[in-house]
């Protein structure tokens, strides 16, 4: 699946994960974009009751909570946004089995976060008053998560092919490597939108799409 001309791949962890050490810093546009997504992810996990630690293949001996895993994702996403490596983030819920004809997992739900390339100034320091969010939290269709397959995907910036190979531990909390899975979004319909703006300029567009069956 591709979005806005960027290559999209699923996230997968290796069998080891480092624990993030979060230190205070000036809040930048990249931080705000990453937080916009992870705030939604917290609500998504709470509503769907997905075991995020298990879904991210974090070894059980680390004994992490979903909240701690989300903070690790926040650190990595903010880092990649600052480096200009990614242009979008996706939350997917699909049917648990592949379609026998296409070999793809038919999607039930898709939350898409597209970073506006015209306003991509990741290192800009922000005041809280300059950032506005519209559209509220995610609004998942009733029971769309039941027996669903979860995936977190990112859009790689096509101009960052060499740098993306460096998105590994210890510079990041996770090793970001592709999983070999395809998703079919042909039946989805868009039903909600949201945005994050900085000084009235849209920096992230959020779109929610669902299967007509939900």
The enclosing domain of 141 has a CATH number of 3.30.900
How confident is the model over 15-63, as pLDDT tens digits? 444 444 444 456 789 999 999 999 999 999 999 999 999 999 998 888 9
pLDDT tens readout for residues 139-177: 999 999 999 999 999 999 999 888 888 899 999 999 998
Residue range of the domain that includes 201:
2-210
- d(C-alpha 199, C-alpha 125), whole Å: 12
Question: 76-119: per-residue pLDDT in tens?
Answer: 999 999 999 999 999 999 999 999 999 999 999 999 999 987 65
pLDDT score for 125:
62
| Total domains in the fold of the chain | 1
Task: Report d(CA 13, CA 121) in Å as an integer.
Answer: 29
Residues 6+ apart with CB under 8 A from 84: 120, 122, 157, 159, 160
């Amino acid at each position: 699946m591709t979005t806005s001309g960027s290559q999209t791949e699923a996230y997968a962890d290796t069998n080891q994960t480092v624990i993030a050490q979060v230190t205070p810093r000036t809040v930048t546009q990249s931080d705000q974009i990453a937080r916009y997504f992870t705030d939604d992810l917290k609500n998504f996990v709470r509503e769907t009751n997905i075991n995020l630690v298990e879904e991210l293949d974090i070894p059980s001996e680390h004994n992490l909570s979903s909240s701690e895993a989300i903070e690790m994702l926040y650190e990595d996403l903010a880092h990649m946004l600052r480096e200009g490596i990614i242009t979008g983030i996706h939350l997917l819920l699909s049917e648990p089995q592949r379609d026998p004809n296409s070999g793809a997992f038919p999607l039930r739900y898709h939350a898409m976060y597209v970073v506006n390339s015209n306003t991509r100034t990741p290192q800009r320091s922000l005041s809280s008053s300059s950032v506005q969010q519209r559209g509220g939290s995610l609004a998942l269709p009733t029971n769309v998560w039941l027996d669903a397959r979860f995936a977190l995907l990112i859009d790689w910036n096509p101009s960052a092919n060499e740098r993306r190979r460096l998105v590994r531990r210890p510079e990041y909390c996770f090793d970001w490597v592709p999983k070999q899975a395809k998703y079919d979004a042909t039946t989805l319909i868009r039903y909600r939108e949201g945005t994050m703006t900085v000084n009235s300029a849209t920096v992230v567009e959020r779109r929610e799409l669902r299967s007509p069956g939900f």
